[in-house]
Amino acid sequence: MPQNTQPIIVLVRPQMGRNIGSSIRAMVNCGLTHLRLVSPRDGWPDQDASDLSSGGMDHMTEIEVFDTLEDALADCHYVLGTTARQRDMVKDIYTARSAAEKIKSIVAEGQKTALLFGPERTGLLNDDLAHCHGVITIPLNQDFSSLNLAQAVLLVAYEWSQVRDDDNIKSHEYLTGDSEPATQKQVQEFLERLMMEIDDGNFFRNPDVRPHMERNITNLFTRARATDQEIKTLHGIVSALIGRKKAKSKA
């Protein structure tokens, strides 16, 4: 994938290798493979990072290390920084979701974009945010909004992945394995048989409420959205029950 088709994740002065590794795992989960590290505290490479990436490191296209944020952003066109709290700065503020839409529109213009995440303890400093065109503040529980680094990366990367793929993601499917959904005809035939059999068993004692009861039964089996296989199973169950009743009445 050409570099400009996805935002670069920039971890600014990250403190713990394990958090870098978990961030990499989250990135790859969401199809992001370009990482820049600005002055990681414990240097680079970092064994903790490799371990915590759970194999994600092998999927990365590029991991680059820079001494300064300015260097890391030098070739970028558009930059958003993440922050948990509002700052007294003049900035566009995005949610993770609206940021993803914004990044998508800018990536579509062929521009190189970057998403910044600050150190674990402090987050991005105002000096870091000054390099950003806007900020991302993820709307969370205001009484308990602190995310760890990898979780912040995950939410922002996830929103990106949902926007990037939104033409391909089916928001809702109905999975039936190897069998086919039953046709209404199959369901109806089963219901007719069922009604007949239970009527035969004196189920509908009060004729006044029979239509009401039939409707409830129909509704129940329709709502179940059975497959053709399951309709056969239901028939089998009815047959078995009839046979048992007959066997019993003979005994």
Nearer to a second copy, 72 or 103 (CB): 103
Nearest distance from C-beta of residue 242 to a second copy, angstroms = 25
Nearest distance from C-beta of residue 203 to a second copy, angstroms = 27
Taking the alpha carbons of 121, 127, 133, 137 in that order, is the dihedral positive or negative?
positive
Nearer to a second copy, 223 or 250 (CB): 223
DSSP-derived letter for residue 60 is -
Nearer to a second copy, 140 or 240 (CB): 140
Nearest distance from C-beta of residue 29 to a second copy, angstroms = 5
Nearer to a second copy, 39 or 221 (CB): 221
CB 26 within 8 A of CB 147: no
Chain residues in the site for a second copy (CB under 8 A): 22, 25-26, 28-31, 54-56, 59, 86-95, 97-98, 135, 139-141, 143-148, 150-151, 154-155, 158, 161-162, 165, 169-179, 225-227, 230
- CA 161 and chain centroid, separation: 9
Query: What is the DSSP secondary-structure string of 180-216?
Result: PBPPHHHHHHHHHHHHHHHHHTT----GGGHHHHHHH
Nearest distance from C-beta of residue 112 to a second copy, angstroms = 19
Candidates 8, 48, 24; CA nearest to 154 is 24
Nearest distance from C-beta of residue 59 to a second copy, angstroms = 6
Nearer to a second copy, 55 or 201 (CB): 55
CB 204 within 8 A of CB 198: yes
Q: State the Cα–Cα distance between residues 238 and 128, nearest whole angstrom.
A: 71
